Amino acid sequence: MFLKTVRCLIIGLFIVCFQPFNSYANQTAPDTVTIGSYIISLHDINFKDKEYTIRFWLWMLYNNKEFDFENRVEVPNAKSIEKPDVFVDSINGQNWVLLKMKCVMKQAWKVNDFPFDKQSLIVKIENSAFDNTSFVFKPDNFGKHVDPHLAVDGWQFKNMITKTTTSSYNTAFGDRRLQNPYTEYDCYEISFDLQRDAWGLFLKIFIGMYVAFMIGYVSFFIHVDHIEASFGLQVGGLFAAVGNKYITDSALPETSSFTLVDSLHALTFIYLFIIIFISVIVLLFYKKKHYLFSNKIIKVASIAVLGSYILLNLILILSAIHDVGFN
Q: How confident is the model at residue 124 (pLDDT cuts 50, 70, 90)?
A: very high
CATH 2.70.170.10 domain range(s) in the chain: 28-196
Q: What is the pLDDT of residue 21?
A: 38
What's the helix, strand, coil split of the chain in %, to 5?
A: 40, 30, 25
- How many angstroms separate the CA atoms of 128 and 113, rounded? 37
- 199-321 is a CATH 1.10.357.10 domain: no
Among 116, 129, 100, 120, CA closest to 33: 129
Q: How confident is the model at residue 181 (pLDDT cuts 50, 70, 90)?
A: confident
pLDDT (tens digit per residue) in 217-268: 988 887 777 777 778 888 888 889 999 999 888 888 888 888 999 999 999 9
In this prediction, residues 262-284 reach a mean pLDDT of 90
- 28-196 is a CATH 3.40.190.10 domain: no
Q: What is the pTM of this model?
A: 0.76
Q: Is 51 helix (H, G, I), strand (E, B) or coil?
A: strand
pLDDT (tens digit per residue) in 18-30: 444 343 334 567 8
Q: What is the pLDDT of residue 15?
A: 45
In this prediction, residues 315-326 reach a mean pLDDT of 80
230 vs 126 pLDDT, higher one: 126
Could you tell me the sign of the dihedral formed by the alpha carbons of 100, 160, 36, 189, in that order? negative
